[in-house]
Structure 1
Amino acid sequence: MTTAQQPLHSGFGASTTAEEVIKGVDLTGKVAIVTGGYSGIGLETARVLHGAGARIVVPARDVERARAAVADLPGTEVASMDLLDPASVDTFAGEFLASGRPLHILVNNAGIMATPLARDARGHEAQFAANHLGHFRLTTGLWPALVAAHGARVVVLSSRGIRFAGVDFDDLHFEHRPYEPFLAYGQSKTANALFAVELDRRGRAEGIRAFAVHPGRIIDTGLARHLDPAALRAAGALDAEGRPVLDPGRQLKTVGQGAATTVWCATSPQLDGLGGVYCENVDISPLLAPEDEAAWADGDTTPGVLSRAVDPDAAARLWEVSERLTA
């Protein structure tokens, strides 16, 4: 498999913060949409991009909560959108297009993790629907604005959850197999990574480049609310008092460190002319050798990405399936 998964040796690392990444970058006149941009990594991403001069738009399911969260970011717009509601996604995208603005940065950050079985109104499994299909619909709906930027970047939040599962094209929505929360989460995160691969292939001729990001394990963002604290302590992510353990070398990061790779992919000139890659620790991840994949999937924290998450054939198939599922 041909891939651009080659580290750049960017000069940054696991401990780098988003504030450090953005130094020297001027985003004056740029527009950025950040889904989930009112909590956790999303809020930190929005804050740092705003500080560099970007005009921020935050689509949110809870508009009042979002407005309160971004109150310290003057000029930030908040609009209603629910990734599990196709009509609301279409409305948000349509209203943005009607504003006539180009879209320079789209950060598909929002997501849910390891939730009990739920389905959207169309019967799609909720993690796949929210994490992938909702963002697929949003991105394709905003396509004219991305083209109008004459150099746009789309950042898709994946994660090391790719180790739990690939995309099961024969049973995407757990209609014929037992539902397991982390299996569904892994499928959605692999879909996120594959989405960036095919999005980049389709968009590069029009100046649209895409990147998938593993931000690290950030326990205090709310994403882990469905996880058992005892299991998190056993995994070394929480200490005996229930406080998050910080160890960037093991992917246990602060929110500022977690947002760093997103901000780098969205803004860094080091990535000019590149795209369709999976990134972590503020660099492009190396492609794991076949003999190393099993140990990595079992929890090895060495940087790397599984081949199934950057497979161009699977990415093209996923795009076609997603088009059908989102009509």
Structure 2
Amino acid sequence: MTQQQHPIGSGFTAASTADEVLKGIDLSGTNVVVTGGHSGLGLETTRALSEAGASVTVGSRNPDRAAPALAGIERVEIGQLDLLDPTSVDAFAARYLDSGRPLHILVNNAAIPAPGELVRDARGYESQFATSHLGHFQLTLGLLPALRAAHGARVVNVSSGAQRISDIRWADPHFTTGYDRILAYGQAKTANVLFAVELDRRWAEEGIRGYAVHPGIVVGTNLNNSTPQDQLRAMGLIDDSGRPIIDPDREKKTPQQGASTIVFAATSPLLAGIGGVYLKDNDIGPLDDDPSPITFGTEEIVSSDVVPHAVDPESAQRLWELSERLLKA
């Protein structure tokens, strides 16, 4: 599986935008679901795919709040979706299946800011893992008939270079002891990558391919809005006036640049026949055998390349089986 984890020379760069990646691609007749597609990177993903001709269903916890952000974007509808609520996830999937439409692209984008204190859902599951991974896992399984009906579909999991921070905490994924918000975030992002790896292994023969994406760091998303200004400044993400510092070669991107790798994963013909990989900067990211975690220091990110624990096929299968058990519990 990791043999595919090397760049293919896409011709795009870290500075490329979603519109540049989609140039010349006609998505007319293509049906897309984007979770959290009304804000941040999700909104830019929705806009870019719609402008290329796609019909987009946005999953949002509060459709009334999402509607103003999506006003003016063509071929967009909103469905209620709370990834922490299994009943809501099942209802969203059922409504989509009842529409009879095939699903060509599923972008599992939604996430929550890392809470300062441990937050659990009604099942007792840690909230970041439950939202970013388990809710999307349940949703993807629920939408499988529609993905099959597309006769060629892609599932894109929006992950992060933070997959370097933590492997899956197999003995205690829900932090029954010793909660750490950063480790919880890292675990959730590792789960996004492992999910893509195992999905691709299981479903590639049916024409359904899986991808995990590191979009870079985009100041102004809901996740970064939860970070105090002094921390963003110390990380070199904003200047003294509070304005974002844009330097895509060092991960610091505009929303248009951040969404580019998401739409690259969703649409690029260069990925035909390739799946189960981690993407960054509009290409397949290299595998970094040094598992040292992502760090910011005061200015720079050391690395956001994927590390072995996040693409390990045995771990990917183990996580899938764990996720199935957690949904049944």
TM > 0.5 between the two? yes
Whole-Å separation in 2 of the counterparts to 1:65 and 1:157: 22
> Mind listing any 5+ residue stretches in structure 2 that lack a counterpart?
none
* Alignment-derived partner of residue 217 in structure 2: 217
Do 2:261 and 2:281's aligned partners in 1 also have CA atoms closer than 8 Å?
yes
Q: CA deviation at 1:316?
A: 0.3
Match of 2:295 in 1: 298
Letter paired with 1:10: S
- Aligned 8 A contact 1:26 1:52 in 2: yes
Indicate if the aligned counterparts of 2:294 and 2:303 stay in contact, CA closer than 8 A: no
User: What does residue 154 of structure 2 align with?
Assistant: 153
Alignment of 1:174-323 (within 5 A): 174-176=175-177, 178-290=178-290, 293-294=291-292, 297-299=294-296, 300-302=301-303, 304-323=305-324
Q: Distance in 2 between matches of 1:3 and 1:325?
A: 31
CA shift at 1:75, angstroms?
2.8
Q: Distance in 1 between matches of 2:19 and 2:106?
A: 19
CA displacement, residues 238-279 of structure 1 (integer Å, 9 cap, x when unaligned): 111122111101100000000000000000000001000000
Q: Aligned partners of 2:3 and 2:169: how far apart in 1?
A: 22
Q: Cα offset for 1:93?
A: 0.1
Q: CA deviation at 1:2?
A: 4.3
Residue of structure 2 in register with 1:127 after alignment: 128
| TM-score of the two chains, using structure 1 as the length reference | 0.96
Structure 2 residue matching 1:3: 3-state secondary structure: helix
SS at match of 2:78: strand
Which position in structure 2 is the counterpart of 1:83? 83
Change (3 A) 1:222 1:297: closer
Number of corresponding residues:
323
Alignment check: 8 A CA contact 2:237 2:252 kept: yes
The alignment's TM-score, normalised by the length of structure 2, stands at 0.96
Structure 1 stretches lacking a partner, 5+ long = none
Identity of aligned residues (%): 54
Matched, 1:143 2:140: no
Alignment of 1:3-22 (within 5 A): 3-22=3-22
Contact 1:251–1:301 at 8 Å: present in 2 too? no
CA separation of 1:71 and 1:2: change in aligned 2, threshold 3 A: closer
For the residues of structure 1 that align with 2:213 and 2:181, how far apart are their CA atoms?
21
SS for the counterpart of 1:259 is helix
Structure 1 residues 8-51: Cα deviation after superposition (integer angstroms, max 9, x where no partner): 11000110000000001011111000001001110110111101
Distance in 2 (CA, whole Å) between partners of 1:303 and 1:119 is 28
